[in-house]
Amino acid sequence: MNERVSPSGRTPSTAAPVARLIEALHKLPGIGPKSAQRLTYYLLRAPEAEARALAEAVVELKEKIILCSTCQNVTEVDPCGICADPSRDHSMICVVEEPLDILAMERTHSFRGLYHVLHGAISPMEGVGPEDLKLNELVARLGNGDVQELIMATNPNLEGEATAMYVSRLISPRGVRVTRLARGLPMGADLEYADDVTLTRALENRQEV
């Protein structure tokens, strides 16, 4: 007779600490029940030092990482290294959805302005509205008149397009030029997976929103 298996992969005979880790890993994006089980049993067999190093890295991440009060990127110091760099062009801000998108843009070595991370995109289906994004912080950065252009580098999908249009309507009355990355980026793709050449061409051929 087969043992009953729960959605998280736990059976009645599974030890509680094992089941707890399986359930915790299963909550991570992209980790299904089977992957959660494999990762759990890998850590169970791994040397204790390796498992402790992983646990300590997670704790350190939560304890030391903060959001830059200027651009909302993840950082250990405030302001972050990019915002504090006097060689960056402070008249241009590239608006992205997530911190990973900044890494993708920086790989191109084609943009020397500043960034702003929204931490998401407008998505009514998922209950994400403008009030859930870092838009108030973006508007506040335009108060001193130094910023001349916002480059909308949200992802080329429905949510990204809706977010870009909302920001354009919000910002345009302030006299700041709002542009959008050119269609060198494939529709439906995430910015973090784009190659460097595609990102560079999209940045160079940006258009008015």
Q: Are residues 23 and 97 in the same domain?
A: no
Task: Annotate the chain with three-state secondary structure.
Answer: CCCCCCCCCCCCCCCHHHHHHHHHHHCCCCCCHHHHHHHHHHHHHCCHHHHHHHHHHHHHHHHHCEECCCCCCEECCCCCCCCCCCCCEEEEEEEECCHHHHHHHHHCCCCCEEEEECCCCCEHHHCECHHHCCHHHHHHCCCCCCCCEEEECCCCCHHHHHHHHHHHHHHHHHCCEEEECCCCCCCCCCHHHCCHHHHHHHHHCCEEC
pLDDT value for 1 = 40
pLDDT for the residue numbered 6: 55
How many domains are contained in the chain? 2
41 and 97 in a common domain:
no
Instruction: Read off the pLDDT of residues 55-96 as tens digits, 9 standing for 90 and up.
Output: 999 999 999 999 999 999 999 999 999 999 999 999 999 999
Mean pLDDT of 126-131: 96
CA distance 8 to 110: 45
Average pLDDT (139-156) is 94
pLDDT tens digits, 26-65? 999 999 999 999 999 999 999 999 999 999 999 999 999 9
Domain membership of residue 167 as a residue range: 82-208
Task: Please tell me whether residues 56 and 124 are part of one structural domain.
Answer: no
User: Are both 57 and 95 inside the same structural domain?
Assistant: no
Report pLDDT for 64. 96
Confidence of residue 203 (pLDDT cuts 50, 70, 90): confident
Regarding whether 42 and 88 lie in a shared domain, the answer is no
* One domain for residues 49 and 123: no
Tokens of 199: 């990102």
User: Is residue 77 a part of any domain in this protein?
Assistant: no
**Residue 116's CATH number:** 3.40.1360.10
Same domain? For 60 and 126 the reply is no
Q: Is 1 a domain residue?
A: no
Distance CA 97, CA 147 (A): 19
The verdict on 126 and 201 lying in the same domain is yes
d(C-alpha 98, C-alpha 79), whole Å: 17
**Confidence tier at 2 by pLDDT (50, 70, 90):** very low
| Residue 116 and residue 55 in one domain | no
Q: Is the pLDDT of residue 5 over 50?
A: no
**Is there a single domain that holds both residue 131 and residue 35?**
no
CA 171, 71, 106, 126 dihedral sign is: negative
- One-letter identity of residue 3: E
CA distance 157 to 135: 19
Domain boundary among 64, 92, 123: 64
